[in-house]
Amino acid sequence: MPLTKTRSSFIPVAKLAITQKAIQQVNQCLKENESARGQYVEQFVTLLKNHFKMPHVVPVASPAAALHLILRSLLDPEYKNEIITTPLAFPAAANAIALTGARPIFIDINPQTLSFDVEQIRSKINKNTRAILPIHLAGLPVDLDPIYDLAKRHNLRVIEDASNALGARYKNREIGHAGDIVVLGFGADEEITVDGGACVMTRDEKLAKQIAVGSFYGMDTESRYRYEGQSYDIEKVGYKYNMSDIQAIIGMDQLENMEKNTEKRTKLALRYQEKLKNIAAIQLLQFPSYSFQHAWHSFNILINADKTDLGRDEFITIMKTYHIETEFHYDVIHLFHYYEHYYNYLPGYLPDAELAASRLVSLPLFPSMSYKEQDRVIKAVEEVLATVKGRKYVFVNPLNTKIRERGAKGY
Spell out where 305-347 has E strands. Answer: none
From the list 58, 55, 61, 26, the residue with the least C-alpha distance to 44 is 58
What is the rounded CA–CA span in Å between residue 316 and residue 4?
17
Residue 29 has a pLDDT of 84
Residue 196 has a pLDDT of 79
For the stretch 60-93, pLDDT in tens is 999 999 999 999 999 998 999 999 999 999 999 9
Residue partners of 106: CB distance under 8 A and separation at least 6: 85, 86, 87, 94, 333, 334, 345, 349, 350, 353
What is the DSSP-derived secondary structure letter of residue 119? G
Q: Where are the domains of the chain?
A: 7-11+258-406, 20-255
User: Residue 49, Cβ neighbours under 10 Å: how many?
Assistant: 15
* Reduced DSSP (H G I as helix, E B as strand, rest coil) percent helix, strand, coil of the chain, to 5: 40, 20, 45
Residue 44 has a pLDDT of 94
What is the rounded CA–CA span in Å between residue 375 and residue 336?
36
What is the rounded CA–CA span in Å between residue 163 and residue 176?
10
Residue 410 has a pLDDT of 32
350 phi and psi angles, rounded to 5 deg:
-125, 80
First and final C-alpha spacing in the chain:
21
Residue type for position 22: A
Helices (H), 155-244: 205-214, 223-226
Residue partners of 114: CB distance under 8 A and separation at least 6: 88, 137, 138, 140, 285, 300, 356, 360
C-alpha separations of 314 from 205, 254, 393 in Å? 49, 35, 15
The CATH number of the structural domain formed by 20-255 is: 3.40.640.10
Left if phi > 0, otherwise alpha if psi is -120 to 50, otherwise beta: which for 199? beta
C-alpha separations of 290 from 138, 143, 146 in Å? 17, 7, 12
Q: Looking at the domain covering 7-11+258-406, what would its CATH class be? A: alpha beta
Residue 264 has a pLDDT of 95
If DSSP codes are grouped into helix, strand and coil, which group holds residue 100?
Answer: coil
Q: Is the dihedral of CA 165, 167, 171, 176 positive or negative?
A: positive
What is the rounded CA–CA span in Å between residue 148 and residue 135?
14
C-alpha separations of 78 from 93, 100, 101, 157 in Å? 21, 11, 10, 18
Residue partners of 278: CB distance under 8 A and separation at least 6: none
Degrees, nearest 5: CA angle 18-20-21 = 100
From the list 193, 207, 143, the residue with the least C-alpha distance to 163 is 193
Block mean pLDDT (10 aa), the chain, length 411: 58 88 88 73 94 95 96 94 97 97 97 92 97 96 96 98 94 92 84 81 96 91 64 88 90 90 96 96 95 96 91 94 93 96 96 96 96 97 79 44 36 25
